[in-house]
Chain A
Amino acid sequence: MSTETTVCTIGAYHRPATLDDALRILRDVPGARPVAGGTDLLVHVRDGREGAPPALVSLRRVPELCGVTIEDGAVTIGALTTMSDIVADAELARLLPAVHVAAADFGGVQIRNAATIGGNLVNASPCANLPPALLVHGASVVLRALGGVRTVDLRDFIVGPGETCLRDGEVLAAVTIPRPLGGLRSTFRRTVRVAMDMALVSVAAAVAMDGGTIGAVRVAAGAVAPTPRRLAEVEELLRGAVPDEGLLRRAGELAAAGVAPISDVRASESYRRHMTGVHVRRALAELTAGGVDGDA
């Protein structure tokens, strides 16, 4: 009796036990692709968005890519860390609230148990949750190849929809986040059409107050441009200003005017623009109002 089952024509499935083995297979096997949780790659291969790679290299058993370390407030998150791992880590929730919320407001538990931070970044969807949240914490990615390692600012890593600066034979090994400034607070908000959907609009913000004025500030948006990006004009407006209602309204208007969303079957360009402004205003209200919720 035949016991094989095949759904598409992936030729080989490698399960290396060390990072060097993984990198060697990626170098030596033509067309080999890394796979982590598979929640993007296996869906894309199945629905035909991507051709079946001749070989997959499972990163699940590579110990060098697993685990979270925190040293003096600086955080290193291994590429294989799942959304559920992030959500369950109380120290991450305290240091990086936006990342915690972005990982929690993500698919269902089955997806969160499989989806990895590395896959979320390398997949480079404009709608992905983690990029805006990581951007407001100044994250970088550590890329490893055989005999080489480089660190790239997340702003430079995602270069287009589905496109990163990852080279053939390279894997994303970890995400690093510098120690947050004292008093830094951050948050993440998004609009989805139905449960289990990707974001129509997402916004993350981080603020450290300096007395009554805004000291350090970062604002980022997802799903409203070809890549997730920081909103420099908005940050400029806010830096050093007193966060009254007028300022937050203007910040929202500036954000809405500054993004470049598309219209598609899920939502119109003008709705996405409008919601970007709303999320920016509410996120800032939440972060500058001493814990008062900005949803009113």
Chain B
Amino acid sequence: METREDAAVPLSFELNGETVAVRAAPAARLLDVLRGPCGRTGTKEGCGEGECGACSVLVDGRVVNACLYAALDVEGCRVTTIEGLHDGAGGPSALQRAFVTLGGTQCGFCTPGMIVAAEALLAANPDPAADDIRGALRGNLCRCTGYVQIVEAVRSAAAARRAGADAARAAAGAPS
């Protein structure tokens, strides 16, 4: 494959809360830049054609397929990958813990994309029904688990997050 070093241009965006500055070729996909120059290999390439969701990332909070997103279009945008979704202290998030404990991950290839898509769902809908979860994950394929455990994991994480939010509200509202 021909490379066009001459055509590469500077690209700067916010990746998981940090500003990054790289160079990207005109044909580079966001997926290429994340896994290449940014060194974030948590985002996977399955089909490369928008069908499987393994490459799901958030761009300005919206979940998209990084395999179909031109890298140069994220100039100045906020990009969140699986590496940016933790509990705030670098440990696993409620979603990540639930996927592990409830069998929502087996070979793990689909898991980063699943968790990113589930994160987008829970940000918009903290208490989704099973059908909402299946709908929100329609663009994410899993060859291993059969989806039942994945839906269960998202429900369980949603409940844990709501409980956490309630506790945080109670703490904030308590007289100091």
Across the interface, A109 reaches (CB within 8 A) one of B2, B25, B138, namely B138
Given the complex of chains A and B, what is the CA–CA distance between A56 and B37 in angstroms? 22
The reply to whether the CB of B1 lies closer than 8 angstroms to some CB of chain A is yes
The answer to whether A42 touches B24, judged by C-beta atoms less than 8 angstroms apart, is no
The reply to whether the CB of B139 lies closer than 8 angstroms to some CB of chain A is yes
Residues of B contacting A39 in the complex (Cβ-Cβ under 8 angstroms): 50, 65, 68
Residues of A contacting B25 in the complex (Cβ-Cβ under 8 angstroms): 4-6
Given the complex of chains A and B, what is the CA–CA distance between A110 and B4 in angstroms? 29
The distance from the CB of A115 to the nearest CB of chain B, in whole angstroms, is 9
Across the interface, B49 reaches (CB within 8 A) one of A2, A43, A55, namely A43
Given the complex of chains A and B, what is the CA–CA distance between A184 and B79 in angstroms? 42
Please report whether the interface of chain A is mostly helix, strand, loop or mixed according to DSSP.
loop
Given the complex of chains A and B, what is the CA–CA distance between A35 and B71 in angstroms? 13
Residues of B contacting A2 in the complex (Cβ-Cβ under 8 angstroms): 5
The answer to whether B138 touches A6, judged by C-beta atoms less than 8 angstroms apart, is no
Of residues 69 to 96 in B, which have CB atoms within 8 Å of A's CB atoms?
69-70, 72-73, 75
The reply to whether the CB of A60 lies closer than 8 angstroms to some CB of chain B is yes
Across the interface, A111 reaches (CB within 8 A) one of B23, B28, B37, B139, namely B139
Given the complex of chains A and B, what is the CA–CA distance between A46 and B36 in angstroms? 19
List 4 A-B pairs, minimum CB-CB distance, nearest first: A108-B139, A13-B26, A5-B32, A3-B37
The reply to whether the CB of B150 lies closer than 8 angstroms to some CB of chain A is no
The reply to whether the CB of B8 lies closer than 8 angstroms to some CB of chain A is yes
> Which of B's residues lie within 8 Å of A, judged by CB?
1-5, 7-9, 22-29, 32-33, 36-37, 48-51, 53, 56, 62-65, 68-70, 72-73, 75, 117, 120, 135-140
Across the interface, A6 reaches (CB within 8 A) one of B4, B37, B56, B65, namely B4
> Which of A's residues lie within 8 Å of B, judged by CB?
2-13, 15, 35, 37-39, 42-43, 46-47, 52, 55-56, 58, 60, 84, 107-111, 113-114, 195-196
The answer to whether B70 touches A38, judged by C-beta atoms less than 8 angstroms apart, is yes
The distance from the CB of A56 to the nearest CB of chain B, in whole angstroms, is 7
The distance from the CB of B112 to the nearest CB of chain A, in whole angstroms, is 13
The distance from the CB of A66 to the nearest CB of chain B, in whole angstroms, is 14
Given the complex of chains A and B, what is the CA–CA distance between A113 and B29 in angstroms? 16
The answer to whether A58 touches B72, judged by C-beta atoms less than 8 angstroms apart, is yes
Given the complex of chains A and B, what is the CA–CA distance between A6 and B25 in angstroms? 6
The distance from the CB of B73 to the nearest CB of chain A, in whole angstroms, is 5
Given the complex of chains A and B, what is the CA–CA distance between A84 and B9 in angstroms? 30
Across the interface, A10 reaches (CB within 8 A) one of B27, B50, B73, B139, namely B27
Across the interface, B139 reaches (CB within 8 A) one of A6, A37, A109, namely A109
The distance from the CB of B50 to the nearest CB of chain A, in whole angstroms, is 6
